[in-house]
Structure 1
């Protein structure tokens, strides 16, 4: 058990507290002084049980200068350690702490993967075992200042290294404790710069609003963003639900606080529960001895984004509902109530009301989440704003690839306009990146735009039998040409596919308005 004693900062108060615990046979295995003004003492008491603690509470209050005592889940140093581990673990690039003997002291998960060892095996390994011709301690002693972009070879691959010395307030090199080494793959620096540039536009400014429908959604979102209530965002895959959620967070009073995201569909029930709510010390076999903070605690005061909330298990639904109702929860394997202030924004690809009607989602939770709601339309309903969006993605792709800015031919633009876009804006961005990488000149042509046929509606799926035979044959002919034109975007290619002359196909395409510039 861990306890916090709120007390006066006076000489001898710790001795008086310890004497009381000794009198009751309570062992103290660790302690820390904390609080804003050193007015709290934290003690780790392994053999202290709850009944004994309840009996000791009034005894504590008889000690001069003690104002109160309560149980806590973590010591301050344990919490800092867990937060640091969580932050380092979230970084996608390798980070290592090196001492002045050239040995690795600590590393994040990305660094351990690079070295091919477990994180717990890292301490004590010499950096020279993996880095060629790189004496980091000597470099730190010689420079005594931060170094950025130094080329180093680690396990045969070239990295650009940022080196931050760990130095005490003394200026002599002997006082240096080592350095923190951050590695960036040289072949991905361009991508890193592109991603940084991509984040320059933040909030609602980063959402393209060239379509009238999408502009209306953003206007609604701007009005809802400052309201401190749960928000439910509905939309198909690839429509930008997380982007809209982040924009709402940044435009809210919580915008300067953290925002964390969890994909509910990407974890098993037990893993999702520990990721979201964390777990107490020694909660289960294989758990960390100090426990783990969940995303809710790491997001305290900010916004938590739950993607794919429809995939949440019944157990997690009940636990999330309790938090929304009472503002508190319990970590896995702990009976301590944790009270937090976090705004919840959820996203779903499916209609939650239908799941409620089928008994697959809690109706009370649905009403708690659906206080505010936004629906992002699919790309096929926003084609009036397609041209500026295409121009934007082509410009981004050319910057990332490092090539001249190409333009789309009218036929290529028509090909994009006639596609059904099951992957929406994300698919459009990926298709255009591939097209820019394939084109070898100033023009993106139809053959550079590779679109899969999955999800294409079959021509007879909702075929009308109204009118005479000529009307029905005409409608069928148009449907066939529309579907095949996506894969054969010229009259010659389509004529060869159908076994007729390109003149016949060109006349038919002109008759039905297929392939004409929008």
Structure 2
């Protein structure tokens, strides 16, 4: 029977209570002092019968300082153990406690299954039996602090261990170390867990802007390519939403429930880009984490890796990336161990990769490996026919973020948006309209609230000879337009449909400017 005494916190009160049980020849197996101010005593008297308790209770309540006695189902420590066991059992990751001699003290069900023993067989097992090459107590003493992501090999599987040291009496010196709690995470599932958190906000095709006819064509192509398990190269200017399109393709494919990780290769030093993508082995270089580091590729196992601005990768990175595309294998920095993974590659660039190949700045064999599937995202200035719808979406999103009433664009403001050249594309439009919503007071956004710099405006006339008459200048513009659009619409009929004129007119203009196809309408 378990009893709780509500009592005064005074010296000798426990002795006075226990004496009554001794008079009846009853053994007190366990006792605890609890309550917020030590004003409760819990006793476990195994052989106490109900009739004896009825007789003893008045005597116990006469003990000076005892205010009441009642039966309880559990002692506080028993309740804590049950709650802790239930909590640990609910965890899918193996969790175990060790002492400073390297022996297991306790473990949850997942740890028992990993070690191949029952939970009640865990206490006393030596950790050397499972990790003979790891001096975990020594590591705990050297660090005397939490260790995250220690790489371990256990039963031919790779785990990352989080180690939380245990100190006696809330001290934090090495002498007070009593052991540690070790939590193991399967390395090949870390990326999946991160992605399950991220994917809640990951947009699919339905959230991408499609009001423009050119973007409708792009989305149709993207939906057809998304399920194909092959490398995808997305081309487009900065701010056109290449990463959003990559995420949408990932979500729409067979890997949609697996991790999606992104790495922007622009501006990263070669060593940093390599370690971010491929990871490094323990002690690979000065300043490296002693447990090593998983790269994004390993975190993305089974999923999709998105490499933004792939044209800016170093020659060494290009070689390693080519090797991975060929056979799925790579080596971490500082390691001789081969790692093989199944990961889909999606790349993006705003550069002309064929030109970089001709200049020797990008490997041609890598380009052909990446250029299996291709999507070209048009700039915003080529999709102005959908500007009103896109602007309304941006304004609605900005108003929600700011927490203000939904304003509307005035006709003059809309005209200004349509007349701007948008060097920063959709990202710039979102920023401009966010600022306009924050400045708007009367519920209508006016032109003066649209803060659009002239950066990049001169680039629209770059390469055009402005000498000569207006007819000469317009003729040069016409030539450049046809040169630009003919490769995408390689017949006079296709190009005529694209530009909204007759195919005879286009054929004549192609012939006049000496562009291929001018003789074959």
TM norm structure 2: 0.55
Question: CA-to-partner distance for each residue in 1:314-362, whole Å, 9 max, x for gaps?
Answer: 0010011111111111111110000100001000010111100111000
**1:30–1:45: 8 Å Cα contact kept in structure 2?**
no
**1:42–1:75: 8 Å Cα contact kept in structure 2?**
no
Are the structure 2 counterparts of residues 462 and 257 from structure 1 closer, same or farther at C-alpha, using a change threshold of 3 Å? same
| Residue 84 of structure 2 is aligned to residue 81 of structure 1 | no
| Residue 402 of structure 2 is aligned to residue 323 of structure 1 | no
Note the 1:425-464 alignment, pairs <5 A: 425-457=426-458, 461-463=464-466
Are the structure 2 counterparts of residues 100 and 336 from structure 1 closer, same or farther at C-alpha, using a change threshold of 3 Å? closer
Are the structure 2 counterparts of residues 398 and 290 from structure 1 closer, same or farther at C-alpha, using a change threshold of 3 Å? same
1:204 corresponds in structure 2 to 205
1:420 corresponds in structure 2 to 421
For structure 2, which runs of at least 5 residues remain unmatched after alignment? 1-101, 118-128, 136-150, 182-196, 478-521
3-state SS, counterpart of residue 236 of structure 1: coil
Q: Distance in 1 between matches of 2:171 and 2:395?
A: 43
2:312 corresponds in structure 1 to 311
Are the structure 2 counterparts of residues 200 and 312 from structure 1 closer, same or farther at C-alpha, using a change threshold of 3 Å? closer
Note the 1:288-307 alignment, pairs <5 A: 288-307=289-308
1:465 corresponds in structure 2 to 468
Largest Rg, 1 or 2: 2
Q: Distance in 1 between matches of 2:169 and 2:414?
A: 57
Q: Distance in 1 between matches of 2:130 and 2:446?
A: 68
3-state SS, counterpart of residue 254 of structure 2: coil
Q: Distance in 2 between matches of 1:218 and 1:104?
A: 61
1:45 corresponds in structure 2 to 133
**1:98–1:104: 8 Å Cα contact kept in structure 2?**
no
**1:226–1:253: 8 Å Cα contact kept in structure 2?**
yes
Q: Which moved more, 1:402-411 or 1:201-210?
A: 201-210
Aligned length: 322
Q: Distance in 2 between matches of 1:219 and 1:305?
A: 21
**1:235–1:241: 8 Å Cα contact kept in structure 2?**
yes
1:158 corresponds in structure 2 to none
Q: Distance in 2 between matches of 1:213 and 1:104?
A: 66
Q: Distance in 1 between matches of 2:265 and 2:410?
A: 41
3-state SS, counterpart of residue 253 of structure 2: coil
1:393 corresponds in structure 2 to 394
Question: CA-to-partner distance for each residue in 1:468-503, whole Å, 9 max, x for gaps?
Answer: 99x99xx9xxxxxxxxxxxxxxxxxxxxxxxxxxxx
**2:203–2:244: 8 Å Cα contact kept in structure 1?**
no
Are the structure 2 counterparts of residues 297 and 197 from structure 1 closer, same or farther at C-alpha, using a change threshold of 3 Å? closer
3-state SS, counterpart of residue 262 of structure 2: strand
3-state SS, counterpart of residue 457 of structure 1: helix
Q: Distance in 2 between matches of 1:395 and 1:279?
A: 44
**1:230–1:343: 8 Å Cα contact kept in structure 2?**
yes
Q: How large is the Cα RMSD of the aligned pairs? A: 4.1
Question: CA-to-partner distance for each residue in 1:153-206, whole Å, 9 max, x for gaps?
Answer: xxxxxxxxxxxxx9xxxxxxxxxxxxxxxxxxxxxxxxxxxxx99966731011
Q: Distance in 2 between matches of 1:426 and 1:434?
A: 13
Q: Distance in 2 between matches of 1:104 and 1:323?
A: 49
**2:322–2:366: 8 Å Cα contact kept in structure 1?**
yes
Note the 1:21-170 alignment, pairs <5 A: 38=115, 43-45=131-133, 74-76=152-154, 80-81=159-160
| Residue 463 of structure 2 is aligned to residue 384 of structure 1 | no
For structure 1, which runs of at least 5 residues remain unmatched after alignment? 1-28, 48-72, 86-96, 106-120, 125-165, 167-195, 476-518
Note the C-alpha offset of 1:279: 0.7
| Residue 372 of structure 2 is aligned to residue 371 of structure 1 | yes
Are the structure 2 counterparts of residues 254 and 468 from structure 1 closer, same or farther at C-alpha, using a change threshold of 3 Å? closer
Note the C-alpha offset of 1:80: 4.3
Are the structure 2 counterparts of residues 76 and 385 from structure 1 closer, same or farther at C-alpha, using a change threshold of 3 Å? farther
**1:406–1:436: 8 Å Cα contact kept in structure 2?**
yes
2:220 corresponds in structure 1 to 219
Note the C-alpha offset of 1:290: 1.2
Note the C-alpha offset of 1:440: 1.1
2:343 corresponds in structure 1 to 342
Note the C-alpha offset of 1:100: 12
Q: Distance in 2 between matches of 1:288 and 1:350?
A: 35
Q: Distance in 2 between matches of 1:450 and 1:101?
A: 61
**1:34–1:76: 8 Å Cα contact kept in structure 2?**
no
1:112 corresponds in structure 2 to none
Q: Distance in 2 between matches of 1:231 and 1:309?
A: 12
Note the C-alpha offset of 1:276: 0.5
Question: CA-to-partner distance for each residue in 1:389-438, whole Å, 9 max, x for gaps?
Answer: 00000111111111111111111111100000000000000000001111
Note the C-alpha offset of 1:232: 0.5
